[in-house]
Amino acid sequence: MELKNYTTFSEFHLLGLTDNRKLLPLVFTMFLSMYLITILGNLLIILAISSGSPLHTPMYLFLSILSINDICFSTVTIPKMLVNIQAKDDSISYIECLSQICFVSIFGGMENFLLAVMAYDRYVAICKPLRYTVIMNPFYCALMILFSLFLSIMDALLHSLMVLRLSFCTELEIPHFFCELAQIIKLACSDTFLNNFLVFVAAFVFGGGPVCGIIFSYIYIVSTILTIPSSGGKHRAFSTCASHLSVVSLFYGTGFGVYISSAVTDSLKNTAMASMMYSVVPPLLNPFIYSLRNREMKEALKKLFGRLIFLV
């Protein structure tokens, strides 16, 4: 079998969500709309938090970082797909593909860690309210954000460097709208044991760690809420966690859906659709979840819109 490595071929081909050329204008319009809504929604969240002094708290600091991360996550994948559809060219260079793998891993991992940090913030606020300002001080918040970014970058670089050792066959078609690590490994003709082993270990450590942190945080949160005597107090305590729980459910629910889809179906299009749900839908819906389920965010957005209307 003929082998090609990164010195003898220059590009992959992204098959996207459909091979029906007549549907491409619809796909282009749909993804362009979702991308613009994602950018606008997350920018509004960032502006509302930065302009509203009551929102200058650790919880909303983490939310603003999450919004920045969501913008970056979407920008890594969707614009390239839109350009390819517009140019009627499904190719992506080796360097671009490797860059996509790296940055998707960074921002996907960063979202994972940020959700765990936000769960810890809710744990401290509910279970240790008197010590909240001491524990969640600016230095410690910045340290958690930087450490999350560091771990995400290290994880992404490991996977990207391991891809460099792979050789590829003449079949260079990726059944997705972006370069996904698992699909690139499947295309390789050389031994992929180390790559698959690293994916498993990284998922267990960098994925399982934050998930366990979220689970244990909410176990303590629920047990604390149950000890509150008044129903009003219970409702107020739980309402501060409702938005975060919704985002966590969306992120890990779609991620689990991708895993199940790739495990139980041989349809490449179904797997591509599942990956789209994981990479596009959470950044799109996160601003709506926090703006609709959070009273303080609603008030901040109303004030922001009032200022924007006044300026216009």
Least confident among 34-48, 193-207, 253-267, 285-299: 253-267
Q: Which residues contact 63 (CB under 8 A, 6 or more apart)?
A: 45, 49, 118, 290
- Predicted confidence band of residue 36 (pLDDT cuts 50, 70, 90): very high
pLDDT digits (tens, 9 = 90+) for 237-274: 888 888 888 899 888 887 777 666 665 665 666 667 77
The pTM of this model reads 0.90
Does 2 have pLDDT greater than 50?
no
Mean pLDDT of 222-247: 85
Calculate helix-pair angle for 94-127, 208-226, nearest 10 degrees: 20
